[in-house]
Amino acid sequence: MNCLIVDDQKIFRTVLKRMFELDSALVLAGECNDAIEAHQLVAEKQIDLIFLDIRMPGMSGLEFAKILEDKRPLIIFTTSIAEHAAEAFDLNVVDFLLKPISPSRFLKAVEKAKEIFSNQSIAVDGNMSDYVFIRHSNIISRLKLTDILFFEATGDYVKVHTTKQQYSIHSSLKTIEQKLPQNVFLRVHRSFIINLNKIDTAEGKTLVINHNLIPVSETYRADLNKRMTFL
């Protein structure tokens, strides 16, 4: 996730940057000492998560969060004033961290943000069940289900292999599996979900889909056999 730190205290920005080393999913896209500068940066860059101080000269963090558009980045408020918590959560933010922030509390908030971000990375259109939407980088793309070959987990990301190209989205295979139509897609390995309609051949523990070799684990073999129609 591309992250932005907004805090008028340089020492706290430094502390947060060091905490970023605790989770490789966090990418520092910038740091600002006030909300005005941050507002401009959000307009120029793809920002997924903001660590936002509440009390700052000029525009406060609460005011800044309110003026962001509906599709705003995820926000984790950071402050030394507990009295702002109720108002902060009314803005539907990820979390509210009181300074000084411990590494364990920081990581807990980050995990919540990652889960929300993953759930936003792929969505099925309720009115058009033949499509899914994915968010990759700063782009939202609509993909036909018939164009998707398979999904492949790679660390904190999932590669979406289609008949035309590959996409990389920040999500987990489990999250994606829960959102896909079960009559079309099937998990065959801890790292692979396939489009059943795209299987070319199957031999032993391997499937071939568009010249790609897909492993099948024993855990999922029975489900695969049930879903394949044999003559």
CATH 3.40.50.2300 fits 2-120, yes or no: yes
The predicted pLDDT at position 49 comes to 95
In this prediction, residues 132-144 reach a mean pLDDT of: 82
In this prediction, residues 173-202 reach a mean pLDDT of: 93
The predicted pLDDT at position 124 comes to 60
Cα distance between residue 161 and residue 213, in whole Å: 13
Which residue, among 138, 176, 134, 132, has the nearest Cα to 154 in the 3D structure? 176
Write down the mean pLDDT value for the chain. Answer: 89
Among the CATH numbers 1.10.1060.10, 2.40.50.1020, 3.10.110.10, 3.30.1050.10, which is that of 125-227?
2.40.50.1020
> For the segment 112-130, what is each residue's pLDDT rounded down to a tens digit?
998 888 776 676 655 446 8
The predicted pLDDT at position 138 comes to 64
- Over its C-alpha atoms, the chain yields an Rg (Å, rounded) of 21
In this prediction, residues 31-57 reach a mean pLDDT of: 93
The predicted pLDDT at position 128 comes to 47
The predicted pLDDT at position 2 comes to 92
Beta bridge partners of 25: none
Ranges in the chain annotated CATH 2.40.50.1020: 125-227
% residues pLDDT > 90 (the chain): 62
The predicted pLDDT at position 70 comes to 54
Burial of 78 (0-12, 13-18, 19+ CB in 10 A): buried
Q: Which of 22-36, 74-88, 145-159 is predicted least confidently?
A: 74-88
In this prediction, residues 147-167 reach a mean pLDDT of: 93
Ranges in the chain annotated CATH 3.40.50.2300: 2-120
